[in-house]
Structure 1
Amino acid sequence: LDEPLLHTTSRPQAWPSWAQQNAIDAKALKYGQGFEHLYYLLEAAVAGLGVAIAPEPLVAEDLRAGRLAAPWGFKETPAQLALW
């Protein structure tokens, strides 16, 4: 929890939900910069500006290439990735 938690305006519940799933008090979360688009969030994480939550398929290549790490793995949530 010492790293800034990057977040998106489209999914403000992501970190509080993660905290609840991991028995962490959401008040202990230290938010970093917020982004309007998931793409910018991921670019900020690759640049080392903080920790991000993202769907596994969107970061799989960055994980394989070593640009990102998933220290806590991935957990299924009711959230859905949609394009329109």
Structure 2
Amino acid sequence: MTRTVRVRRPSPWQDGPVTIVPISDDSIRLGQFLKLAGLADSGADARALLEAGEVRVNGEPDSRRGRQLRKGDVVEVDDPRGSNSAAVG
């Protein structure tokens, strides 16, 4: 279950609502999280977004599909529809 909430913006790179996506383990790979959060439709889409430099983790660009995310990490994706954000919950 996902939910959208307004969170306090401690950093200038966070500027819109963030969807909190709960995970059952302590960590999740970035490629998997992109799909789980609905930021990418498939693994191929996730790979394309990462290769194009459209993904930021905690405000920093990242292109590693296998990067381990932990609770509290915020992932932001720029695509033609605009910027979307999701946080690991």
TM-score for the superposition, normalised by structure 2: 0.27
The structure carrying a bigger helix percent of its residues is 1
TM-score for the superposition, normalised by structure 1: 0.28
Structure showing greater Rg: 1
The structure carrying a bigger strand percent of its residues is 2
